[in-house]
Amino acid sequence: MPSYHVSVPHFLGAAAARARLDKFLEDVRRDYAAHLSDVGGAWTANSLDFRFQTSGMPISGKLLVEETSVQVSGQLPLMASIFRGRIEKTIRDELTKLLS
């Protein structure tokens, strides 16, 4: 199964970055509810294991908040692998805006 990985640096510290991410994830869940199903996730310290379905494809991964960076990684369904670059760019762009 193909994978994806994005790392975005920040200068907020882990607590402030996580607070921004919590708000952002709530907004995404609300704003894109029509496009997402089976949305779930659980925080353990500063690590979020998440999952959702979009266009019938299951997506899962891990988001790790560190003092100076946020890492997002996981597996992609084979059908989504052709969009890997676009997916990684979108994640990177959104996190960069959020954490700036």
pLDDT at 3: 92
Whose tokens are 């762009």? That residue is 93
pTM: 0.88
Give the full edge-to-edge strand order of the sheet including 57-65.
Answer: 3-9, 69-75, 57-65, 47-54, 37-44
Q: Among 2.40.10, 3.90.1150, 3.30.310, 3.40.220, what is the CATH number of 3-99?
A: 3.30.310
DSSP 55-81: TTEEEEEEEEE-SSEEEEEEE--GGGG
pLDDT at 71: 97
CA neighbor of 6 nearest in space, from 70, 80, 76: 70
Which has more pLDDT, 16 or 28?
16
pLDDT tens-digit map of 20-76:
999 999 888 888 889 988 988 999 999 999 999 988 888 999 999 999 999 999 999
**Residue ranges of domains in the chain:** 3-99
Residue 15 has pLDDT above 90, yes or no: yes
Whose tokens are 């607070």? That residue is 19
